[in-house]
Structure formats: C-alpha cells, structure tokens
Amino acid sequence: MGQNIPKSSVNIIPKPLYSKVDPGHFIIDEKTKIEYSKSVKNEKRIAEFLSESIKYLVQINIPVDQYKGTQRGDRIIFEITKSDTLGGEGYQLLINPNYVKIIANSGRGLFYGVQSFLQLIPPEDVNENDIEKIIIPCLEIKDRPEYKYRGMHLDVSRHFFPKEFIKKYIDLLAMYKMNIFHWHLTDDNGWRIEIKKYPLLTKISAWHVDRENQPWNDWSTIQPGEKATYGGFYTQEDIKEIVKYAQDRYITIIPEIEMPGHSSEVFAAYPQYSCTGDTLNVCPGGYWPNVDIFCAGNDSTVTFLENILSEVCDLFPGPYIHIGGDEADKTNWKKCAKCQARIKKEGLKNEEELQSYFIRRIEKFLISKHKKMIGWDEILEGGLAPEAAVMSWRGVDGGIKAAKMGHDVIMTPTSNCYFDYYQANPEFEPEAGGGFITLEKVYSFDPTPPGLTSEEAKYILGAQANLWTEYVKTPEHAEYMILPRMLALAEDVWTPKAEKDWNDFLYRVNQHYKRFDAMKLNYSRGYFGIDFSTSYDNKLNRFQLSFNTEQLNPVIHYTLKGSDLDSTSLIYAKPFFIDSTSTIKAGIFENNKLVRDITQETIHFHKGLGKKIIYINSPSNKYSGMGNSTLLDGIFGSDNFADRKWQGFEGDDFDVIIDMGTPVSITSVSMDFLQNVNSWIFMPNDAQFSISSDGIQYKPYIAQNDISEKPGKPIIKEFKASFNPTPVRFIHIKAHNIGVCPPWHQGAGDKAWIFCDEIVIH
C-alpha cells in the first residue's frame, strides 16, 4: 500500500512532463468564450469539441469564435506556435485568473491540451444540475508524449459491439491521449466488415448459432438446419462514420483482417479458398486447433484477399493494415497438394517459410496501396516481410528480435497488456481469460525492454493493450475490463519512465474514479479488494501477515478466527503475527461502510511452512503464483487457476526438493493438483513423494491419479503419502505431466499443463 499522499491538485492522467500550480483560479461561466485563430487545420473543430465537452460535463454553454486580437478576460485561447520542445503532439497549458491559453505546434497538440484542461474540471461538478460556474486552478503545464504509438485494441469478432459503443470506446481513448484504435474485425467467430465484392461475408460469415448460455470452450454441436442468429457487422457507411469520428479525435484506426489462420468463418461462405474446400459453420465459441486456413498454394486465394484488402484500404486512410498472422496451424498445408507444390516451386524449406511467402505477397500488395503491414510476432517465423511492423504479444522477445532487424515494433505482451485477463481476485470478478494483470502490473510496464542499443530502441514505436472478448459480451463489461487499467497504460506510453510514480498515480486515479461515477462509466472496483501475503518466521513458528491493496491509505477492518466483519472490527495499521491456523476476514471501509466484498483467507499451519524449496523444473513465468514461497505459504488455491495461488508447468513434470533444514519427524506429505480440461490443465498421471534423512537414500511413495480426463467443472484433488513417524530432512516430489493434450481434446498435441498448490507436511 502507498503511504505518502501527494499534495498536487494536478490530477491529470497521463502525468504531464512538467506542471506548476500557481495561486488563484480561472472561472468558467456564461461569460467565458473560446477563441481560435484558424492557423491550423481543424482548429475551429477542436474549439467546438471543447465547448461541446464542457456542455456535456457541466451543462454550461460556451460560445466559440475566431480570435479578433482584442485583449480581454474570460477567454480560452488557442495559440499556434513553432516550438522545438513541443514537437508534433506536445502542448503548453497556461491558466491564470483572466484567461486560459492552450499553445501547440499543431491541431493534435491543441487537442491534447484540451483533454488536460477538461480533466481539471472538478469531478464533483460533473453532471450536477444548476451549476453556474466551474473553478479551475491556475497552473502551467508543458507536456509531450514519450512514444508515438499509444494504442488500445478491441475484438469485435467474438461478440459484436454496436456502432455507438465503438464511438464511446474511441472517446475513452481520446480522454487519455491514446492515438491508435486497433479494430479486430475478423476472426473465427464472425466477419464484421462489409465487403461489396463478397456480400456473403456479411450475409453468412457474420452470424453463428446462439450458444451464449453455454461455456465458451464447451459449446454443443450445431444441428442440421439450425439458424445462425447471433452476430452483426458494420456497413461501409458505418465505418466511414466511425473513421471520421476517430479522426476528429486524432485517433488512427488500424483494421485487422486475419490471415492465414483464424479465418474459418470465411469458409462458411467461400470454402473454395481453404485447403479442404469444406463448407464450415461459423464457430459459436472456442475453436482450437486452428486448422482451417487460407490455401497458400492457390493464387485465387491471394486474389480474393487482395480484393478484400483493396476495399479495406479505401475505407481506412491511416498508414497501417493489420493482417494477423498468429496461431496459424499448418496441418492442412502439410496435406494440401497445392501448398506442397507451392513449397517446391518457390524453393521453400517448410510450411513456416510458406507462411512467410504468403505474408510477403500480401505485403507487396499493401505497399502498392501505400499501406504498411503489421502482424503479430508469428510473422517472424520463416523470415520477416521486408517492411512489416511487428506486434510483440508472446512476451517481448519477438519485439527485441524485430527491432534488432530494423523493423518497427509495438509492444503488447501478455504479461502486462492483455486486458481480457483478471485484474483482481477472481472470486469476486466476472469470468475472464486465464491470466492475472493488476493495475500495478500494467503501470510497471516499460515498452522499451533492456538489451537494446539506443539505435535499436528507436524502433520501439510504443505499446498497446488488447481486449479479446471471448468472455466479454456487452459494452458495459468491455468498459469494466479497460477501466482503470487503460489509465496506467496511457501513462506508460506518454510519461517518461523517470517521471512515473506509483503512489502519485494511485492518488490521481482515485480522483478519476469520481469522474467515472459522475459519467456513469462501468469501471472495475476490484482495486478496492485486499490481497493477503505471508512471511513465515521459522524460529518463532509464526506468520507475519500483511494486507496489500491498490488504494492509498485505506481504512481496513479485519477479524481473526472467522468472526463477522464490520466497522467495529480491528483496524489494520501494520503487519501482524499469527501462530496457529486462522481464518481472517478483511475489507476496506469508507464512512463505516464496506466498499466491496469481504476478502477471506484461511492460513494453515504445518511443518513445511517457510522451508527451502528447490525447483528442478521452474514454473511458467505466467503462472508462478506469488513466487517460490507459493507452495509453502499456508494458503490454498481456489478452483480458479488464475488466482495467483497456483503454480503452472507447461509440458514439464512438477519436480521439487524441499529441505527441512534438519531431520524432522513427519507422518505425511500431501499437495493439491487442479484439473481444468477446458484450459489445457490435467491431473498428473501420478505423484511420487520420496523422503530422505540425508539427501542420498530416498524412500518413494506413489499416489496414483484416479480422476477422469473428461471435460467438466474444475476439480481439485489431493495427492497424499502417509507413513509411520519418520525423521526426514529432504522431500523430493515429482508429479508426471501427461505431456500433451490427448487426441480427443480440442488442443490435441499441444503441451499439457500441471497446476499445483500447497505442499502440506505433518
């Protein structure tokens, strides 16, 4: 928890490069006017945007007029300058009691100055009736962004979102000076863009049968004659309207048209462009492995895609077109006579080089249309297209590799930038993707990874966050997943790393929660939750227990021994100790009322607590729990593998050695394993517990698995070895991974996961 509350009243996000608060205030009332100079394109439109925004927020009408050169007060003035320090997107904001000046080199800079000015309107005045004046503090701001690519992504294939929400999404991006909207328009679950030349893409490929009442990865078979009623698409007129709307807010839209994989919905309408020629149904849920793929050996397939991209290029005036390129299963390419003939004719080594050949052909076409191609980092495989930009999502390694090759890079790793992942305790959150990314995790992100020279680092254009929507069905839920995490990302890409401060950000973001409330935005309140962390004292046989939260100096009440929690319960002031198994309840209170759900945890005592653990195989970085102490911290995981209490091992056996320090008499060793077949997580074949007093001679005990691999709800199983009292110093535990998902599974052949939690020693 942060302890030092900043005193600044400049609650702007992202944090400006320089700000200074001066004495006095500027008052917005019916006398105020906005004046522009017509020195740059759209200057009048920006002035009107400011007026409209003030009217929307506080119901005060501010007239807009061209600057006449007269000197008087009560004015908000736009001024165009030529400043090397401001660059193309920077601005200066000067507020004194008589006037406001927004100064920039360009309309874009003016617009960002407007956004900062709007954030100075007190949130308690937003949407209040009968407001006659607004008081703005006098200050000076000089500001410019650190990165030129500041993006947010939205997947509209899994669930279609109406045009009105797309505009609202763009407004949210604009509020926080984001300048790229990556619009994921096509994927296996629906084609969302009208293509005049191929009308069946919207007549057929945009719709699937309704399975919304079923689990995403466990939908029932589509029946013959069953109508496809769920979906939708944007007409070309819709898209032109949205593009103009974004342009007015200095946001570039990057459309994504998936290829060669994630394209099975196309084959519901145009099966001739696949390798098999089979007419498919549009998938109503999870689809894996992604074997249905555009045929790279068929020239008519390339012509089909070029015709589509030609219309796409005409609709989107920005410089970039995203072609996907990710997760393309090449099984059908290996079987396809045309694809194999293409490999032979072009002298390619394998199917990876065939993908590169395919992508290069598409890039050549896009270059002819004066567009630059972007792809997910899989486009590096088999050789990167000459001028392609890379979006690095599988960690940062792909981005580093591309930057070293002299290619532009956008960083969007799953570790920090996947907003479909849980953001707070899954027990209280709506269903989400498997990962766990908190507000602080997003804020800690540095788009430029270490290991690059200053010259190579120039190729890191910036970063974006991705909102995939498998579990996000409504606009309200989409808002919930991006707010407030988008504010942290906005600061990552705007504010220099040296100027960022977590406690200061927390203070400012709490002020923005008030604005969200006034604007009736559906933001996550998961940041009012509490995480427990434990540190075991071996000498005194007790736990030090800490409460952690992403709030500044909250009032936390708690109870021990499972008793009821209310505003009269103990107040948390600092870490405290417990020396026996205890059930703790805790919650944040404001005005003596519980803000959110009660967090409850049972801390279990056993002989293994705090002992040294040696990993023969390390857990995945993505699922490492709370670090090496996870398996011996006295806390058990829930049936949600993303709760940060489990450790996951992909394809590897679980293999650890526990060193008790000195021989200790014990009678049993046990640990929990989780099975969630829909997430590629299986029980181990068996768990072997081997005990030793000297680390040389071990006695093994085997616990066999008796849980079926069939799909169903998550299952937790205890594997246990019991024996007569025995002096033991070393315990070697090995659980055998099944290796790969079985043939009947949708991920057949993919690496299987083992998830494990608390090792209990008695």
Residues 6+ apart with CB under 8 A from 82: 105
DSSP string, 138-157: EEEEEE--S-SEEEEEEE-S
**Could you report how far apart the first and last alpha carbons of the chain are, in Å?**
35
* 8 A C-beta contact, residue 626 and residue 666: no
In the chain, helix, strand, coil percent, each to 5?
25, 30, 45
Helices H, strands E: what count in the chain?
Answer: 15, 36
Give 354: exposed, middle or buried? Use CB within 10 Å, 0-12, 13-18, 19+. Answer: buried
What torsion, rounded to 10 degrees, do the Cα atoms 541, 543, 544, 549 define?
170
Give the CA count within 13 Å in the CB-facing half-sphere of 216. 18
Structure tokens belonging to residue 691: 């005990």
The helix (run of H) or strand (run of E) holding residue 600 is: strand 599-603
Give 114: exposed, middle or buried? Use CB within 10 Å, 0-12, 13-18, 19+. Answer: buried
What are the catalytic residues?
A: 187, 262, 327
* 8 A C-beta contact, residue 311 and residue 304: no
SS3 at position 231: strand
Give, in degrees to the nearest 5, the angle at Cα 275 between 272 and 279.
Answer: 50
The helix (run of H) or strand (run of E) holding residue 247 is: helix 236-247
The candidate with the shortest Cα–Cα distance to 419, out of 488, 326, 474, 520, is 488
Q: What are phi and psi of 505, to 5 degrees?
A: -65, -45
Structure tokens belonging to residue 586: 């805790």
The greatest distance separating any two alpha carbons of the chain, rounded to the nearest whole angstrom, comes to 96
* 8 A C-beta contact, residue 264 and residue 287: yes
* 8 A C-beta contact, residue 608 and residue 761: yes
The candidate with the shortest Cα–Cα distance to 13, out of 552, 436, 513, 520, is 513
The candidate with the shortest Cα–Cα distance to 557, out of 527, 526, 503, 598, is 598
The candidate with the shortest Cα–Cα distance to 340, out of 325, 329, 330, is 330
Q: How far apart are CA 25 and CA 21, in angstroms?
A: 10
Torsion region of 370: left, alpha or beta (phi above 0 gives left; psi -120 to 50 gives alpha): left
Q: How far apart are CA 300 and CA 309, in angstroms?
A: 14
